[in-house]
Amino acid sequence: MKGEASFTDEIYALPGGEGVRLCIQCGTCTGSCPNADKMDYAPRKLIAMARAGMREEVLSSNSMWLCLSCYLCTVRCPRRIKITELMHALECLSSDSGMTTKRVRTPKLYHTFTDIVYRMGMVPEFLLMILYYLRTNLLSAINMIPMALNLLRHGRLDIKPHRLKPESRRQLRAILDKAKILGEKP
């Protein structure tokens, strides 16, 4: 049962992951989740599997990537587990492990988002969409053209986004570079 101990410990060590040991399997989270029916394993089951040491099955599932971060499960959990944060912890573990499923596109969007923040310090929505579609599916980008033009007509495309001063961008990068080093596992 070595796997069981180590995977639970791995989750437990992350902020928000500590609740994994408190779950009583009541299913309130699954009953509250707007996306439970789209997940490989709904939240209650995912937690049970995590505690059973099913590392690969959990980290390669689509479940946490379909979490909307609406926090309904979190406010209803009778054990006060931060379930949404637990989902984020599982996303981070999945991302680090290289086991992320290709059946959902959410991880690609999140990675694109993160890269833009690192480079620019903020996220122009328009750039996010363009880069995301370049990385995933150019065809769907073509389908988005009418909507983009409509937004442009209504003055809602950020062609002139908020820009940080160069020294502020450097400052944020220095902070994030340091965070990267501190975040690496010993």
Partner 1 sequence: MKYYSYFPACCSFGQARAYDMSTRAVAKALDVELIELDDWNCCGSTPYSSIDELGSICCSARNLSLAEKRGLDLVTTCSDCYLMLSKANLFMKEYPELKSKVVDALAAGGLEYNGTVRVRHILDVFANDVSSDQIASRVTRSLAGLKVAPYYGCQVVRPRPSFDDPESPESLERLIKSLGAEPTPFPLKTRCCGGSMIIPEENIALDLIQKLLDNAVSNGADCIVTACPLCQGNLDVYQSKVNNKFKTKFNIPVLFFTQLMGAALGIDSKALGLEKGIVSAQKVLSGYLK
Interface characters, 64-93, with partner 1 (x: CB under 8 A): xxx-xxxxx-xx------x-x---xx-xx-
Instruction: Determine, following the binding rule CB under 8 A, whether residue 158 of this chain makes contact with partner 1.
Output: yes
Dihedral (C-alpha) 39, 51, 54, 5: value to the nearest 10 degrees? 160
CA distance 20 to 58: 13
Give yes or no for a contact between 33 and 43, defined as CB atoms under 8 angstroms apart. yes
Of 159, 65, 57, 56, the residue nearest 109 (C-alpha): 65
Instruction: Tell me the two tokens of residue 112.
Output: 């694109």
Instruction: Determine, following the binding rule CB under 8 A, whether residue 99 of this chain makes contact with partner 1.
Output: no
Q: Which residues contact 77 (CB under 8 A, 6 or more apart)?
A: 19, 28, 29, 83
Instruction: Tell me the two tokens of residue 93.
Output: 């573990």
**Piece of the chain touching partner 1 by CB under 8 A; list 4-12, 19-27, 30-38, 47-55:** 30-38
CB of 2 to partner 1, least distance (A): 25
Interactions with partner 1, residue window 40-59 (CB under 8 A): none
Interface characters, 2-21, with partner 1 (x: CB under 8 A): ------------xxx-----
Instruction: Determine, following the binding rule CB under 8 A, whether residue 119 of this chain makes contact with partner 1.
Output: no
- Cα–Cα distances in angstroms (integers) from residue 184 to residues 24, 108, 139, 177, in the given order: 32, 22, 37, 11
**Piece of the chain touching partner 1 by CB under 8 A; list 4-12, 19-27, 48-56, 165-173:** 165-173
Interface with partner 1 by CB under 8 A: which residues?
14-16, 34-35, 38, 64-66, 68-72, 74-75, 82, 84, 88-89, 91-92, 95, 104-111, 113-114, 117, 121-126, 128-129, 132, 136, 147, 150-151, 154-158, 160-162, 164-165, 168, 171-172, 174-180, 182-183
